[in-house]
């Protein structure tokens, strides 16, 4: 494991810098818009543009990479992401910021496609499960770390935006200096959402609701924290703890998914997450520690809806269709991440800060009702026939699905096969 991580140190360092810089910027923007007294519904429309750009990036960035190559595409897209972070404080305009969020989302999606392609190209059948886990741990810890640097500098001035630009620019350096051959990106085949819904309606619904929850919280969590009176330092801790909770709860819920019917697990996860969200809506920030605990439970449970949805869907798929199904579930999650910020922002406008969590509770209860109906009206997959649960990340490109250990159609890249052949001959 140590040898594998060392060989990928350039990729891992680029991920740390990119994800921490991007996560830092997302929270910073929510705080800055609140300071500028922009109404929550407008904030929702501005910040949802990132999700729109990200979805477009995962769909179309392959064309850019095909024309100019991986290194150039990575350099251009990372540079654009860095430049956009410097442009925000130059003009406080809703339309201008919305346009920048689309560009930023597209650029970050493109950079992640390149990085994840390199990860996939270095994988073997023996280590791809470990690589899958390493990527997710690095991603979540980097996102949490990015939240903790939000309190460096005053969000009302230029310096924090400069820090974000520095992190995004430095992400260029490790990969630009690497001597690894560029990977080959194969166009991921997709199944239409409607076709997949006919085969696994619960899976598609779970991915959609997860997108609504996580997209809405990442966009409007900092706005909520500002409205209930948390200072910048507490806001950064508030957001970081939510991300760490998502990583921590993945393992125990995965164990439950391997022992019980997964749709029943999804039902109870939705119920408990709705209860936590309702608790936040009722008690607010009266006790910051209780607030952090309840928000951690809400986000941690909500984030596991996506990997559970993937597991439910994969149980009903041939192995050859797993990657295509994963790409469609990511699209469903992306649609949810567009709905979430807009819907929750409107509820904040109507009900005040508590509207964010009461709205989330409503969507989660709707998912619980849908799941309960599907359990009672459709046939279960026997627990013995379920595939082993693998935590999956919605904040990734379809390329990463190639590393999923459940994908028996995985093929090592020619470069890795040749390297292993040389090692066997030397042995």
Residue 426 lies in a domain: no
Q: Output the pLDDT for position 419.
A: 45
CATH of the domain at 372: 1.20.1250.20
Quick one: average pLDDT of 102-117? 86
CA 207 to chain centre: 12
**Structure confidence by residue, pLDDT tens digits, 142-188:** 888 888 888 887 888 889 999 999 999 998 888 777 666 665 555 55
Residue 418 lies in a domain: no
Tokens of 313: 């869907």
Separation CA 85–CA 26 (nearest Å):
10
Q: Output the pLDDT for position 209.
A: 94
Separation CA 92–CA 258 (nearest Å):
50
> Is residue 245 scored above 70 in pLDDT?
yes
Yes or no: say if 48 and 341 are a contact pair by the CB < 8 Å rule: yes
Residue 394 lies in a domain: yes
Residue 427 lies in a domain: no
Residue 414 lies in a domain: no
Boundaries of domain holding 116: 8-178+187-408
**Structure confidence by residue, pLDDT tens digits, 51-96:** 999 888 888 888 887 788 777 888 889 899 999 999 999 888 899 9
Number of DSSP helices (H) and strands (E) in the chain, helices first: 16, 0
Q: Supply the DSSP string of 370-382, one letter for each residue.
A: HHHHHHHHSPPPP
Residue 3 lies in a domain: no
Q: What does each C-alpha distance from 272 to 9, 18, 295, 357, 379 come to in angstroms? A: 39, 33, 12, 13, 24
Separation CA 242–CA 294 (nearest Å):
9
**Structure confidence by residue, pLDDT tens digits, 35-53:** 888 888 899 899 999 999 9
420: confidence class by pLDDT, cuts 50, 70, 90: very low
Most confident of 2-6, 137-141, 255-259, 322-326: 137-141
DSSP code at position 397: -
Residue 75 lies in a domain: yes
Residue 423 lies in a domain: no
Number of compact structural domains in the chain: 1
> Is residue 138 scored above 50 in pLDDT?
yes
Separation CA 43–CA 197 (nearest Å):
32
Q: Give this prediction's pTM.
A: 0.81
């Amino acid at each position: 494991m140590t040898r594998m991580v060392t060989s990928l140190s350039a990729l891992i360092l680029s991920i740390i810098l990119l994800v921490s810089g991007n996560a830092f910027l997302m929270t910073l923007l929510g705080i800055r818009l609140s300071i500028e007294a922009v109404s929550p519904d407008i904030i929702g429309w501005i910040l949802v543009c990132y999700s729109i750009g990200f979805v477009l990036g995962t769909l179309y960035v392959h064309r850019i990479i095909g024309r100019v190559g991986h290194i150039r595409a990575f350099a251009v897209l990372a540079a654009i992401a860095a430049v956009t972070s410097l442009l925000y404080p130059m003009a406080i305009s809703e339309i201008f910021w919305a346009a920048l969020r689309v560009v930023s989302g597209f650029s970050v999606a493109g950079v992640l496609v390149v990085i994840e392609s390199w990860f996939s190209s270095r994988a073997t059948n023996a280590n791809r499960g470990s690589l899958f886990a390493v990527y997710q741990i690095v991603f979540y810890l980097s996102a949490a770390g990015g939240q903790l640097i939000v309190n460096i500098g005053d969000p009302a001035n230029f310096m924090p935006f400069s820090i974000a630009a520095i992190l995004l620019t430095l992400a260029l350096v490790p990969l630009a200096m690497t001597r690894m051959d560029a990977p080959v990106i194969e166009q991921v085949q997709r199944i239409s959402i409607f076709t997949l819904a006919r085969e696994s309606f619960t899976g598609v619904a779970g991915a959609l609701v997860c997108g609504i929850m996580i997209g809405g919280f990442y966009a409007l969590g900092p706005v909520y924290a500002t409205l209930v009176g948390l200072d910048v330092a507490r806001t950064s801790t508030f957001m970081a703890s939510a991300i760490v909770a998502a990583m921590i709860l993945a393992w125990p819920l995965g164990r439950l998914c391997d022992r019980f019917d997964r749709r029943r697990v999804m039902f109870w996860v939705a119920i408990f997450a709705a209860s936590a969200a309702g608790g936040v809506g009722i008690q607010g920030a009266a006790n910051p520690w209780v607030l952090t605990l309840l928000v951690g439970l809400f986000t941690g449970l909500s984030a596991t809806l996506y990997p559970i949805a993937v597991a439910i869907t994969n149980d009903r798929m041939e192995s050859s269709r797993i990657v295509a199904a994963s790409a469609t579930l990511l699209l469903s999650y992306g649609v949810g991440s567009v709905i979430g910020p807009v819907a929750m922002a409107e509820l904040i406008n109507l009900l005040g800060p508590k509207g964010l969590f009461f709205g989330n509770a409503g969507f989660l209860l709707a998912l619980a009702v849908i799941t309960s109906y599907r359990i009672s009206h459709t046939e279960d997959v026997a627990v013995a026939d379920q595939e082993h649960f693998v935590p999956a990340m919605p904040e990734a490109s379809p390329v990463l699905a190639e590393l999923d250990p459940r994908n028996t159609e995985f093929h090592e890249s020619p470069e890795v096969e040749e390297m292993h052949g040389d090692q066997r001959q030397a042995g």
